[in-house]
Amino acid sequence: MNLENVSVSLKLENVRLGVYKMKERIITAVVLIAVLLGSVFLGPIAVQALVSLFLAVGAYEVYRTRRTKVAPIVLIPYVLFVLGAMLIPESLYVVYVSAILLVFFIMAVVFKWYTLDELSFSFLMIVMLVTTAVAFKRLLEIDMVVLIYPMIAAFGADTCAFFGGKMFGKTKLIPRLSPNKTVEGAIAGYVGGVILSFVFAYFVVQAHIDLIPLVVASLLMPILSQLGDLSFSLVKRRYDIKDFGHIFPGHGGVLDRIDSLVFAILTLNIVLSVLVG
């Protein structure tokens, strides 16, 4: 077998592997969407229960990332703080984050293995999940369909970026964080995310939120959701892990799946806080 045949064989194998991974990702996505729609059909309590489960698994993945450096006891405050965020009123957010800060510093004083580096990492990640939970609750209080809005922006941008990158990708975006992402894919993701999210907002969400905040949110969420993906990649590169978990075939863990969605939800909450109040 000559080198040309070897090269062709390798390319075909890469294509087959890519198709298999994409098929796996699509099946997982369909199952997740079905579960989400089922919870929406059952009502707000079911949606809150599902999100609480995801966030609790996310808190476990924060521990899992550093499990060789910290003791399992940290899971108790991690999970309790994340779940508690689904119960507190938004007015107590600052008090709640202050409590997290105090507890984590006390842990650093009591446990020698809970260093300032571990404190910084866990505080950043847990507060991010807590803030997402608080923002999620606000959106849920408006209407359940509002929750779908940032999902369309994030997952729409992700899907369009994937296919745009496959078809047109040439220029690497930020290879030190994500070697497969391209500038062309990011542009396709942004344009697709803007169009998909705005169409949904115009015909569905506008019944609950004025048009101007929706225009601003639709312009911001697709690009910030992609930056969310890259931000989580930054964490994974820092701690030399491929995925935060393995609960979703083809997608990794909960944090791998919601990285872009977290930033989309936070962005929408910021826009509503500034433009709506």
Q: Which amino acid is at 178?
A: S
Total structural domains within the chain? 1
51 belongs to a structural domain:
no
Which residue range(s) make up the domain with 172? 144-277
Query: What is the per-residue pLDDT for 127?
Result: 98
Reading the chain (277 residues) residue by residue, the pLDDT tens digits are 555 555 545 545 554 655 555 666 667 667 777 887 788 788 888 999 999 999 999 999 999 999 999 999 999 999 999 999 999 999 999 999 999 999 999 999 999 999 999 999 999 999 999 999 999 999 999 998 999 999 999 999 999 998 999 899 999 999 999 998 999 999 999 999 999 999 999 999 999 999 999 999 999 999 999 999 999 999 999 999 999 998 877 668 999 989 999 999 999 999 999 999 7
223 belongs to a structural domain:
yes
Cα–Cα distances in angstroms (integers) from residue 252 to residues 11, 29, 245, in the given order: 25, 12, 5
SS3 of residue 2 by DSSP: coil
Q: Specify whether the CB–CB gap between 194 and 261 falls below 8 A.
A: no
Cα–Cα distances in angstroms (integers) from residue 221 to residues 181, 183, 224, in the given order: 18, 17, 5
Query: What is the per-residue pLDDT for 246?
Result: 87
Residue ranges in the chain assigned as alpha helix (H): 3-42, 44-65, 75-84, 93-110, 116-142, 144-168, 183-203, 211-238, 254-275
Q: Locate 92 and state its tokens.
A: 């107590």
199 belongs to a structural domain:
yes
Query: What is the per-residue pLDDT for 5?
Result: 57
Beta-carbon contacts of residue 254 (< 8 Å; ≥ 6 apart): 54, 55, 57, 58, 61, 244, 245, 247, 248
Residues in the chain: 277
pTM (2 decimals)?
0.89
How far is it, in rounded angstroms, from Cα 132 to Cα 219?
20
The DSSP 8-state label assigned to residue 247 in this structure reads S
How far is it, in rounded angstroms, from Cα 266 to Cα 179?
26
182 belongs to a structural domain:
yes
8 belongs to a structural domain:
no
Query: What is the per-residue pLDDT for 27?
Result: 72
How far is it, in rounded angstroms, from Cα 49 to Cα 43?
10
SS3 of residue 70 by DSSP: coil
Per-residue b/e over 231-260, b at no fewer than 16 CB within 10 Å? bbbebbeeeebebbbebbebbbbbbbbbbb
Query: Which residues are paired to 248 by β-bridges?
Result: 252
How far is it, in rounded angstroms, from Cα 203 to Cα 224?
23
194 belongs to a structural domain:
yes
123 belongs to a structural domain:
no
How far is it, in rounded angstroms, from Cα 9 to Cα 83?
50
